[in-house]
Amino acid sequence: MITGLTIFSIALSISLLVGVDRVRQGTEDGFACALSQTDLVVGPRGGSLPLLLYSVFHFGAPSNNLSFASYEHFRDHPAVQWTIPFSLGHSHYGYRVIATDDNFYEHYRYHRDHSIDFIGGSRPANIFDAAIGSEVAEHLGYRVGSKIILNPGLKTVSLVKHTSKPFTVVGVLAHTATPVDRAIYITLNGEEAMRLDWADEMPPPPGEEVPAASIEKEDLHVKDLSAFLVQTRSRVDTLLLQREINNYREEPLTAIIPALTLQELWSLLGYADIALSLVSGAVLVVALLAMLIGLHTVLNERRREVAVLRTVGFHARQIFLLFILESTIISSAGVVLGLAAAYGLLWMARAPVEAHFGIPLAMVGISSRVSLYVFVVIVAGTSVGCIPAVRVYRNGLMDGLNAQ
């Protein structure tokens, strides 16, 4: 009973410690995996973290835009390999609508070198075509051919809708386990078409709508973007280009290196990590104390056992070892159970966490920090076992013989 409870409390603290650590690393990996091979993220002048969060991870909204002319300037820059433009501004049942162009399907990479694949249909080519992420397709039950109505703004609930300009799903993207799954992709022209007859975020008065069928590509001119991704030709170019963009005279812009900005985010969240680790460390200390108390409680019952073992010729040293073996087995069992629980829960929580909070959680192996926890717990457990063992050893046999 006491043994079971001790194992349970050690398992609890181990799974807390490991859980906190794994969630941190899982989130870091998840975030890092969402965007690969992109050297710079460029947006209007502003904070680097908000830029990264809204452009890649769909958190928050851009406060202003950058002009298409500036985009064109850097798109044609000699140091640039490719660019992917993003324009945000619409949504559909809470899912972001991202206007982009073919470069996205061509060049976007996640998990190092995975590119965007279609499980059905093809890239949006016409004005009112849309491609949807796998989660959007699954959650809203859309297929190729479904008609969807988009809302202006990024809120889940919107009073006004672009009812006169429905989009057609022409492609469904394969699952990526990145924010791409939770977005709808349209063409830059498509977004422009929705804005065509709107003014100040309000629909046109009845009778003045421009019918969707009459809109031609030639009528549409993209004026601004929310952000764009850049891959440069070399590492050196990245730094030079970043400098050049940040000092661009025509328009105030911000260029960030995504990995560095993510680092900023993690150091910001580091305090939460430390606080949680301290709490789980405290739980561990309590668990070890519980084990000490447990071992001491059964010590009295153990005296008869010790006495019998010594009459049949066990050495005091062997009995000492038995006690240590017991506490080592208890702490190891706790560790194994705790690790299993931590990884089991992580595995189960993965999909819901990604769906509800949009936090990509990668399954990660055992880090050096986890092995350190495991090592410390087992060593601490063994040393805790030494305390009753030393008592028994010192009391020798007579204690056992005379125990009444």
Quote the CA–CA distance of 108 and 41 in Å, as a whole number. Answer: 13
Least distance to other proteins from the beta carbon of 325, Å?
Answer: 15
Q: Which residues contact 85 (CB under 8 A, 6 or more apart)?
A: 71, 100, 101, 103, 188, 225, 227, 228
* Side chain identity, residue 71: Y
Q: To which residue do tokens 């809302």 refer?
A: 151
Stretch that binds other proteins, among 16-24, 156-164, 371-379, 390-398 (CB under 8 A): 390-398
Which whole-number Å values give the CA distances from 151 to 92, 148, 163, 202, in the listed order? Answer: 6, 10, 9, 11
Q: Does 263 bind other proteins (CB under 8 A)?
A: no
Q: Of 90, 303, 331, 335, which one interacts with other proteins (CB under 8 A)?
A: 303
- Please, what is the minimum distance in Å from the beta carbon of residue 2 to other proteins? 15
Site for other proteins, residues 164 to 223, rule: CB under 8 A: none
**Binding segment toward other proteins, per CB under 8 A, in 9-17, 166-174, 260-268, 392-400:** 392-400
Taking each helix axis from N to C end, the angle separating 258-311 and 2-34, rounded to the nearest 10 degrees, works out to 160
Residue range at the interface with other proteins (CB under 8 A); choices 121-129, 175-183, 315-323, 367-375:
315-323
Stretch that binds other proteins, among 114-122, 257-265, 297-305, 335-343 (CB under 8 A): 297-305
- Among the listed ranges 142-150, 179-187, 311-319, 372-380, the one in contact with other proteins (CB under 8 A) is 311-319
Site for other proteins in 139-168 (CB under 8 A): none
- Interface with other proteins: number of residues (CB under 8 A): 22
Tokens of 292: 């000490």
Q: Does 314 bind other proteins (CB under 8 A)?
A: yes
Which residue in the set 147, 223, 243, 304 belongs to the binding site for other proteins (CB under 8 A)? Answer: 304
Does 299 interact with other proteins (rule: CB under 8 A)? no
Span of 83-91, 156-164, 191-199, 300-308 interacting with other proteins by CB under 8 A: 300-308
Nearest to 73 by CA among 261, 258, 253: 253
The partner residues of 172 in beta bridges, in order of sequence, read: 120, 132
By beta-carbon proximity to other proteins, the closer residue of 26 and 294 is 294
Q: How far apart, in whole angstroms, are the C-alpha atoms of residue 365 and residue 25?
A: 10
Could you tell me the smallest distance in angstroms from the CB atom of residue 316 to other proteins? 6
Closest approach, Cβ 310 to other proteins, in A, equals: 7
Which one, 23 or 295, has the nearer CB to other proteins? 295
Nearer to other proteins, 267 or 404 (CB): 404
**Largest distance between two CA atoms of the chain:** 105
In the bound complex, what is the minimum distance in angstroms from residue 321's beta carbon to other proteins?
Answer: 12
How far apart are the C-alpha atoms of 39 and 256, rounded to whole Å? 8
- Tell me whether residue 221 or residue 317 sits nearer to other proteins (CB atom): 317
The nearer residue to other proteins, 155 or 394, going by C-beta atoms, is 394
Do the bridges between strand 167-173 and strand 129-132 make them parallel or antiparallel, or are there none, so unpaired? parallel
Report angle CA 245, 246, 249 to the nearest 5 degrees: 75
Residue 47 CA to residue 313 CA, distance in Å, equals: 75
C-alpha distance across the termini of the chain, in Å? 24
Dihedral, CA of residue 220, residue 223, residue 224 and residue 229, to nearest 10: 70
Nearer to other proteins, 289 or 308 (CB): 308
| 85 or 388: CB nearest other proteins | 388
Residue ranges that bind other proteins, judged by CB under 8 A? 303-305, 307-317, 396-398, 400-404
